[in-house]
Amino acid sequence: MNVFWLSRYGANLRAYYKEWKRQPMEPTKPSFWEWLDDESIEVAGVPRTKLERETVLYCDTAAERQKFALSVQNGVIVHDASQEIVETGPDGWIFVLRDGVLYGSQKETKKIPRIHHTSFVGGECVQTAGMMVITDGVIKTIYPHSGHYRPSEYELLVLLRFLVSNGVDLSDVDVDVQRIQKVFRDTVNGALVKKLDNAHFWNAYRVWHFLEEKHLAWKVGLFDELVETVGRKTDMHVSLERSEILEDSVMEEINDESSEISFKDGGSRALSLLRPAYDAPTFEDAAKQLASCELQP
């Protein structure tokens, strides 16, 4: 494999990969990368020149990454290399956090090489990723959006912990929580609107405390108990549905003068046998569990 393919633009490579997949599977079929090395191969809509010209920047060395390193000084975000206060403009900068170091830059999709989330650390794993709007070094908005890294709730929590531990005041910071709140994206002319146009904001401190408590609930096993409880209730619901059939047969027996089936306290023998016995945890129990655990920032 020619290693320079690894820095080609993914959308262009995807078109060639689809073409390779369409080729018949035979013992002599080359791997995708070997097939791609054949310069005679072209795909409609993506000329070979376009594939080879359009690249993505990948920082593989510490020196290359340092150009994009950011730090927090007295609660203000500065560019390490120049020591200039960061000003992203309204469109914001993309960022990643890796090994406790924040990297960021304007996302570049038109100029070559392109700059994506994967650029800062050469496509390697990160602790979290997203986009920030920063004015005069002060974070205004956080969007936990990254098409490549797909940050979850925990990755957002990691970011907020990092900012708090480095002295960033989150009082006036908005965080897009559309994924946390499961907010559905609107549609326009049958197409989903962009995530940035469907933002649902909470204050960053509210998000931080919410995620800390949710993470703590997972750690103490509260959600395991809830899942078990819901499962039991589901089983009970199925049992109750089945009991309706039993009830019908019981009522037939009741109407029969020779029947000896009795009912106590308004409940049927059939239901009392089918209804599972368990003690579900109460909300008070859950609150006591959370209160007994120290919140770790």
H or E element that contains 216: helix 204-219
The answer to whether the CB of 105 falls within 8 A of the CB of 68 is yes
Q: Is the peptide bond before 47 cis (omega within 30 degrees of 0)?
A: no
The answer to whether the CB of 138 falls within 8 A of the CB of 102 is no
The answer to whether the CB of 38 falls within 8 A of the CB of 5 is no
Residue for token pair 């490579």? 13
Distance (Å, rounded) from C-alpha 180 to C-alpha 152? 9
Kindly give the confidence (pLDDT) of every residue in the chain, 297 residues in length, as a single tens digit, with 9 standing for 90 and above. Answer: 444 556 777 788 888 899 999 888 888 888 888 888 888 888 988 888 888 888 889 998 999 999 999 999 999 999 999 999 999 999 999 999 999 999 999 999 888 888 999 999 998 999 999 999 999 999 999 999 998 899 999 999 999 999 999 999 999 999 999 999 888 888 888 888 888 888 999 999 999 999 999 999 888 888 787 777 777 666 655 555 555 555 555 455 445 544 443 333 333 333 333 333 334 444 455 445 545 544 444
